[in-house]
Every structure is written in structure tokens, then in C-alpha cells.
Amino acid sequence: MTTTQSARKPVPPAVAAGHPATAEAGLRALAAGGTAADAAVAAVLASAATESIFTGLGGGGFAIWYDAATRDVTCLDFFCAVPGLDGDVTAGEMMPTEVAFGAVPVTYSIGGASVAVPGVPAGTGEVHRRWGTLPWSRVVEPATLLARTGVPLPAEHAHTLIGCGPALSYGAGEVVYRPEGRYLNAGERLFHPGLEAAMTELADEGPSVFYTGRFAKLMVDAVRATGGALGPADLAAYRVRELPVHQAPLAGQRVLARHDLNRLVATIGTLPAGLATLPRPDRAVAVARALADPGPQRLGDTTNVAAVDAHGNACVITTTLGLGAGVWLPGLGVHLNSMLGEAELVTAGLAPGSRMSSMMCPLVVLDDAGGLVLAGGSAGASRIRTALIHTLIATLIDGLDMPAAIARPRFHVVGDEVHAEAGVPEDELAAMEAAGLPVNRWDHLSHYFGGTSAIGRSGAAADPRRGGIAALL
């Protein structure tokens, strides 16, 4: 399909997500007449049962909403907040744990002191309140059913589990991820004892059950028993925030998103205006220079959901648990985040009640008339920006359909070194080397390079690197 042909096509109603059952939960909401917000929320809640290696009710995230009728774009921040408003407890030491980052061991910090105030319950509730039309209980229902049965673990998730297992399987996680004394293999059932009860109460009571209801006391007690400072005031004070939406031009379109810690919108703004007309090797050098990232590279347990409904509205939600703190709500199958143990997220000036920073960046692309061209996001921590820019270039400039755009091999830059997946054209790699950028050639496609899910005029897809799938209505 050429770029001109794809420009004439409307964006199809669909859901793209990191697990088949996650996408199916969202599609059920669309089929029931729900909006893209209903679908995205249903999928995010389902991901607590299907993708708990990456996300969960104890995490945080961001959402972007495109309203087809008004052509307005809204971004919501429901990321984690720094605890300590109660002022009656001082956090203890975090517990170091080592996980495999490729071939390199990396030390993370977990335990109660790493737990920040979670935002997923409040965030999904706010997205539904603003833009959903289905009853809340109906939106939660698919997650409840999946929590009851468990789901098969995709091969790509099983591979991630091997590296992250020491953190994920700590404490109550042992029975979830190592039920027979070993990590789950691909195809085996991922099941969270008690999560069905948590989803049932969430459906009945609403998100407030986590902040001022029964789960709030359970959370405070669990965190403080393991050295954390989270208190009742922290939970009661938590609010979802609306963020400014910024934009940058790319290939005659406008990319709209929040300003994230990894500077995606700003990076797009630094790309040459004539990027589309450059020979591919020259373009690769320009993109590599824009992507140069001197910061630490983190594993990035994150997932993304994109949804578009029959009216053309779009909702993209990116969520994360960090690695998980190894602290679970007793009897409820809810793993709490480890955001305070993520060194690059603990920025200067954070105080109790402060919202933490993140590299997550759900986005939409609009044409000059404000029409929707694409809605998407990515997992992958410091590779989120890389994955999204490669996908945008592949579909907006090169005219690839969405499955091909997301599957196309990528390169990511760390310092001045280019890490390239197998399949990046050799003339592009040679051009980067000639420009003084050393190239590390990988021999395979890897989840290291992110996990994009997106829906656009060129179709819908989710990243094969992370077992993703798209389902069209």
C-alpha cells in the first residue's frame, strides 16, 4: 500500500495489545457498542491477569484520548506518586536484586521501600468516567473472567520472565511465576490466586476501593510491614492529572503527545525537515544522531494498549509495574510497583505527593485537518522513543502497512554506539559507521527494542517481539 492510498483510508476500529486475551477483552467492549475508552480500559484491566510480568493494578501509567467529533486531544497522567504525606513512618532500606539484562546482570531495588502510590485503578476509572459509555462493571468483567481461569503464557513473555524472575517471583510471586519450583514455560497457565476477588470488588466498589476503601488498609499494612512509608494520606490524596499535549511535525503530519522523560516529541522536532527525501543510509545517520541516548538503559517492564472505535475516537494507554516490589496485597493477587527503586525515575526535587517521571509516551498522529492518522504507544523504557520513531517513519514516510512497520528491524543508540537488530540494511549500518557511530550487530529481533502497538490508516498491529496482537472489529 502506498502512502497516498493509506491516506484515503479511515482508521479501522480495532484493539492492539501485548497479549491475545488482552486484545480480546478490548474487542468485546467495542463489540458491545463501547467507545475506544471502554475498550482500552477493559484491555488494561485484563492485562493485570494476562501481562502481569509487565503491568498490573499496583502500577501506573498514562493515557491519550482523541475525540473524533471535536478533534481534541487529551493526555492523562496516572503515574505513581511519592509516598510520605502521613509523615509518621520513615522508609527502610530497599532490597537489591539482580536480573539479567541481555547478557549483563543489572541490580534493581525492590521491597516495601520501593513502592510508590499506584495509579492504575484511578487512571482507568477516570478514562472510563470521561469517555466511556458502557457500565463500569461490564468493562471490568473480561478481566474478572480472565483472573478466574488464568491464561497461557506467550513465549515472548516466558523469555522475559527468565531475566526478571528473581524480582517477580520474590515472596508471594513464587506461587504465580514458579508454581512448580521453576519458572513458567511458554504455553503454561499464568494464574494469580485471589485476583478474581480483587476484580470483583473493583467492579462493585469502583477504583476508590484501592484509595479509601478496604484495599487501602491492606496496601498500607503490606507496604509498611516490608519497610515502606506508604500511608492512608498518600492514597486518599492521589488524583489523576491532565497534562499539556505537545506536537512535532513529521512527514506532513502532526505527532501529539506529552513531554516524557525520554523527549520523544522534542526528538521528532530535531529530525531534518527533508527526512523523507534523504537516501536511506543518510536518513539512518540522521535518525541515529537524533536518538543518541547517554542515559542508563533499563529493562522496562511496560505494556501498551491502543483502541479505535467505530466513531473514530482513539485511546492509547501505557502502563507499568516496574519490576514489581515483591509486595502483594494479601489474598488478592495484586503485585505492587517498584518505582522508587528505579533510579532514573527518582529525579531531583521529589517530595511526598510529587508525581514521578516516566519514559512512557502514548501518542496520536493527526493530519492538517485534525483527522486521525495513527494512535499508538510502546513498551521498552529507554527504547520507547526508538520503537515509536522507527514505527512512525516506516508507516508515515515509507508507506508500510502497520504489521510490517512494527515488525521492521530497528536500531537503538546508547551513547555513540548503535545497537541494530538483524535485518537492518547493511548500507545503513555502513553509513552510520562511516559517520563515526560504532555498530553492534544483533543476530535476532529482540524485546529489548521495545514493544509497539498501534492502529492507523495503514492497519493495526502489536509487536511480535513481545507476543503482541491486534484484533479488528
Predicted confidence (pLDDT) per residue in 143-182, tens digit: 999 999 999 999 999 998 988 888 899 989 999 999 999 9
Does residue 297 surpass a pLDDT of 70? no
The model's pLDDT over 300-317, given as tens digits with 9 standing for 90+, comes to: 578 999 999 999 999 999
- Alpha helical stretches, state H, 17-91: 20-31, 36-50
Query: What number is the average pLDDT over the span 112-139?
Result: 98
Range with lowest mean pLDDT among 125-129, 260-264, 362-366, 455-459: 260-264
Q: Strand pairing partners for 453?
A: 377, 462
Query: What number is the average pLDDT over the span 369-382?
Result: 95
Query: What number is the average pLDDT over the span 59-75?
Result: 98
Does residue 81 surpass a pLDDT of 80? yes
Strands 302-308 and 334-335, by their bridges, are unpaired
C-alpha cell at 60: 501506573
Closest residue by Cα to residue 52 from 124, 166, 147, 128? 147
Q: What pLDDT, on the 0 to 100 scale, is given for residue 100?
A: 66
* Cα 288–chain centre separation: 23
Burial class for 310, CB neighbours closer than 10 Å (0-12, 13-18, 19+): middle
For residue 35, which phi and psi values (nearest 5 degrees)?
A: -85, 175
Please give the helix or strand (H or E) that residue 7 lies within, else none.
helix 3-7
Range with lowest mean pLDDT among 12-21, 286-295, 333-342: 286-295
Does residue 1 surpass a pLDDT of 70? no
More confident position, 366 or 342: 366
Range with lowest mean pLDDT among 94-98, 138-142, 266-270, 346-350: 346-350
Cα within 13 Å of Cα(278), Cβ side: 17
Quote the crossing angle between the two packed helices 280-291 and 384-392, to the nearest 10°.
150
Average pLDDT, the chain: 93
Q: Strand pairing partners for 318?
A: 62, 304
Query: What number is the average pLDDT over the span 71-97?
Result: 95
Query: What number is the average pLDDT over the span 18-36?
Result: 98
